[in-house]
Structure 1
Amino acid sequence: MSRTARLFQLMQSLRRHAPPVTAQQLADDTGVSLRTLYRDIEALRGLGAIIDGTAGYGYALTEDASLPPMMFDDEEIEAIVLGLREVQAIADPDLAGAARNALVKLQARLPDAQAHRLQYAVLAADRIKRPPQPTIDVRRLRQATWDESTVEIDYIDANGDSSTRRVDPLSIVFLKETHSLIAWCHLRQAYRNFRLDRMQNLRVTTSSFRPRRVPMLRAAIEELSSCWPEGSAMVAKSPDPAQS
């Protein structure tokens, strides 16, 4: 492997691992000795890469516009295009727009040959039947989920009965053909799935359930996954519903 290729590979390893990543891990990834790894780190710093850390502690990469471009192999490019096109096909309008913008930005940052492959990728995703459109502001719901803020919604169940629910939002999911919210329902004192196209009047409260979202989500998935339709997939942060 040429030194240039090795430095690109080292950059990719720094991007891929959660910081701080040890020198030994980076050396194993690039197939070099620790002594060579330390020299390569200094070479990247000399080229403008902002790499914090030292030997014995670990390293962290701070991305910068002057860094060498990201390098993907052909399969990785196809995977990225397929994933973002699937988001365009099934996500709410804001997220679909973000996926389109992400593809444009990525294409602009790639070398010409790879940008061409991204533009004319072999794989594609589309839906003849689009999922029902959410009836609430999904961007606000996503933000409340990230912020771990309790929300209130007016909800219409499969039988047409309406109720007001106070829930802790855990994840927005795509289950088979609809978008749903996995949440802890204060009324039922249980985990529930709520379809986004049956929600009305989203209200974000000042109550927080931080920092319990991640363990709650694990428990909810374990409890609810047996009720999900066959072929359902997690999307964004997010699986149709066992009826609430």
Structure 2
Amino acid sequence: MARSDRLFRLLQAMRTMPAPITAARLAEATEVSQRSLYRDIDALRAAGARIEGERGYGYRLIEDYALPPQTFERAEIEAISLGMAEVASMGDPVLAEAAASVLAKVAATLPDDREQYLLHAISQVFRPTPRYEMTPHMEIVRGACWREEALRIAYADKNDAVSERMVLPLAVVYTDRTQTMLAWCCLREDFRMFRADRLRTVSLAGSSFRPRRAALLRDYVAELKRQHPTPDARI
């Protein structure tokens, strides 16, 4: 692993672990020896990171040189906290971990008083069960959207009749209770919505449609707004 990647991993571990963090735990998290860890901490300190602590006691990241100080207002901090809590409650473990990472990174850049706003936000999310039932296909769908790769899918309609087709995935939309893939359907030669819970199989088709995704998605959203006009339509 390149040293820059290792130092970044060390910073991320110090952002997310409760302080003080022992050298042994940090070494395990970054997959290095404790001797290498001590050198990495010295390197971060030399680069401007404020890290309190010492060998045999533990460490705490006070100020992160990799992220500039943030001046979020209290309402903005509340919105960040609430938004990440919603993401964490959706039931997707990948996005839940990403939400926790976002909060840790933001907290590392805040002054002490604003960090307390984030850690003790008055707006909370409580969902006894995940909002969405996760399917094994959505990670493939999200990756294909980012990489602009076509997918082959088997899809069941409302009568459970299954059809196979190739699609160009454009985005994932989270409606009230359902995840939906927005895509260009090569079979119908038109835009289509595919509910995640009706996807029977999903695989990469081995072809790219780059750089068309942004333009296709823009056209699809415009079409949806024409079909369902509202005073403030957003997707």
* Same fold (TM > 0.5): yes
| Matching of residues 51-130 of structure 1 within 5 Å | 65=65, 68-90=68-90, 92-127=92-127, 130=130
Assess if the C-alpha contact under 8 Å between 2:69 and 2:109 holds in 1: yes
Residue in structure 1 matched with residue 208 of structure 2 by the alignment: 208
- Match in the other structure for 1:185: 185
Distance change (3 Å), C-alpha of 1:85 and 1:219? same
User: CA contact under 8 A between 1:151 and 1:205: conserved in structure 2?
Assistant: yes
Shift of 1:227: 6.4
Q: Shift of the alpha carbon at 1:129?
A: 6.2
Kindly tell me the number of residue pairs found equivalent between the two proteins. 173
Aligned residue number for residue 219 of structure 2: 219
What is the rounded CA distance, in whole Å, between the counterparts of 1:149 and 1:113 in structure 2? 45
Q: Deviations over 1:75-101 (max 9, x none)?
A: 110111111111112252211221122
Matched residue type, 2:203: R
Q: Specify the code of the residue in structure 1 equivalent to 2:87.
A: V
CA distance in 2, matches of 1:204, 1:157: 21
Shift of 1:135: 2.2
Distance of 1:70 and 1:114 partners within structure 2: 9
Kindly report the root-mean-square deviation, in angstroms, between the aligned alpha carbons of the 2 structures. 2.9
Greater shift, 131-140 or 148-157, is seen at 131-140
- Provide the secondary structure at the position in 1 that maps to 2:89: helix
For residues 40-92 of structure 1, what are the alpha-carbon distances to aligned partners after superposition, in whole Å with 9 as ceiling and x for unaligned? xxxxxxxx9xxxxxxxxxxxxxxx82564222111110111111111112252
CA shift in 2, pair 1:67/1:164, >3 Å: closer
Q: Is the 8 A contact 1:153 1:166 kept in 2?
A: yes
Shift of 1:168: 0.3
Correspondences of 1:163-182 after superposition (within 5 Å) = 163-182=163-182
Give the 3-state SS of the residue equivalent to 1:102 in structure 2.
Answer: helix
The aligned counterpart of 2:43 is none
- Output the TM-score relative to the length of structure 1: 0.62
The one-letter amino acid paired with 1:77 is I
Structure 1 residues 106-142: Cα deviation after superposition (integer angstroms, max 9, x where no partner): 2233222111110111122344664442323322221
Gap change, CA 1:95 and 1:66, over 3 Å in 2: closer
Q: Partner of 1:135 in structure 2?
A: 135
User: 1:156 matched to which residue of 2?
Assistant: 156
Structure 2 letter corresponding to 1:223: E
When structure 1 is superposed on structure 2, of 95-104 and 205-214 the one drifting more is 95-104
The alignment-based identity, stated in percent, is 40
CA offset at residue 223 of structure 1? 2.0
Contact kept, 8 Å, 1:191 with 1:224, in 2: the verdict is no
Distance, in Å, in 2 between the alignment partners of 1:109 and 1:180 is: 35
Secondary structure of the equivalent of 1:90?
Answer: coil
- Shift of the 66–213 alpha-carbon distance from structure 1 to 2, 3 Å rule, reads closer
Conserved? CA contact 1:136–1:200, under 8 Å: no
Unaligned runs of 5+ in 1: 1-47, 49-63, 240-244
Deviations 1:191-233 (A, max 9, x none): 01111121122111221111111111011112235667x9xx9
Distance in 2, Cα, partners of 1:219 & 1:155? 23
Runs of 5+ consecutive residues of structure 2 not aligned to the other structure: 1-47, 49-63
Structure 1 residues 140-182: Cα deviation after superposition (integer angstroms, max 9, x where no partner): 2211101110011111121211111210000001122111000
**Alpha carbons 1:82, 1:124 under 8 Å: kept:** yes
